[in-house]
Amino acid sequence: MLRVVVLGAGAGGGVPQWNCGCEGCRAARSDGHELQRTQASVAFSGDGEHWFLINASPDLRQQLNATPQLHPKAGALRHTPIAGVILTNGEVDAVAGLLSMREGSPFTVYAHEKVLAILASNSIFNVLNEKNVRRQPIGVSEPFEPRLPDGARSGLEVLPFAVPGKSAWYLEGKMHPGGGSGDGDTLGLKITDKAAGKFFYFIAACAEVTDALKAEIDGAALVFFDGTVWRDDEMIRAGLGHKTGKSMGHVAMSGEDGAIARLADLNIDRKLFLHINNSNPALLPDSPERKITEEAGWQIPADGTEIVL
Ligand SMILES: [Zn+2]
């Protein structure tokens, strides 16, 4: 059995974003919690007892408080069900939550050497004491079994694979602490429960839907995919900034090269968009864009959505 909980479905900044007055953010402030999204992360477990996070968002503390599966077990003075965190990139919205996990519980951070180099070059991450928090390098196309804090097998397999993307934006124009070449800045993950043979894909950042990527995920029961923007230039058109989706390493949902069209011919049971920016009109339940999204078989998940495979 594989249990997956969407801790957050929003992109960097979340919904609403602290300094944003766009339509989506205003609606999220005024209509209660239905529209609100924390920053993207999911938790998964093979046994329902030990959990792994994919990315640690700046909203992690709020996400853990809202997720009973991740609370300390009854009667324990200090305990967490979280056995590890797997990082798919070095963006702020993927790593900042690690700083909220500094109170001495043992777990492992799994990340590509390029992302580990970013952590190593920022001394604030030394609040994660190496005695408790191991940093384990993972390689592109090298499957591994994440371990429990006592070293026991989890029964799970994680396969990282390269996805078209880019380095963290705060490194733009700077020397990458992990070196400038090769894959590793943006990973997709295939998570498998080895005993049950169940698996899902997590691809929350993807600059282009390639044929290789399509071949990888065809036939999956569950795919989380990059839903940052509806159209490539939506932030510019809305007056929210000068960045396109592409320039941030995110393919649009719409358009002939967009995720909806490019993945339409695949046999995937359940498709969910994740990392949805507050500028994306598909967030709004009554929008035409939401209708198109749902009619194409995609779901815009609420935070806290749990899926069992
Ligand atoms: Zn906004």
Cα(15) to ligand 1 centroid in Å equals 7
Mean pLDDT of 180-201: 90
The answer to whether residue 308 is domain-embedded is: no
Cα(309) to ligand 1 centroid in Å equals 34
Cα(247) to ligand 1 centroid in Å equals 19
* Structural domain span for residue 203: 3-301
Q: Are 255 and 261 in contact (CB under 8 A)?
A: yes
The answer to whether residue 52 is domain-embedded is: yes
The answer to whether residue 70 is domain-embedded is: yes
Overall domain count for the chain: 1
Residue 182 — pLDDT band, cuts 50, 70, 90? Answer: low
Q: List the CATH number of the domain containing 203.
A: 3.60.15.10
Cα(19) to ligand 1 centroid in Å equals 8
Question: Global pTM?
Answer: 0.95
Mean per-residue pLDDT over the chain, rounded: 94
Cα(290) to ligand 1 centroid in Å equals 17
Q: Are 307 and 1 in contact (CB under 8 A)?
A: no
Mean pLDDT of 258-284: 97
Q: Identify the residue with better confidence: 235 or 143.
A: 143
The Cα 163–Cα 233 span in angstroms is 21
State the DSSP H helix or E strand holding residue 226, giving kind and residue range, or none if neither.
Answer: strand 222-226
The answer to whether residue 306 is domain-embedded is: no
The answer to whether residue 77 is domain-embedded is: yes
The answer to whether residue 62 is domain-embedded is: yes
The answer to whether residue 161 is domain-embedded is: yes
Cα(272) to ligand 1 centroid in Å equals 21
Q: Identify the residue with better confidence: 156 or 178.
A: 156
The Cα 59–Cα 57 span in angstroms is 5
Cα(20) to ligand 1 centroid in Å equals 4
Cα(82) to ligand 1 centroid in Å equals 31
Cα(236) to ligand 1 centroid in Å equals 13
The answer to whether residue 307 is domain-embedded is: no
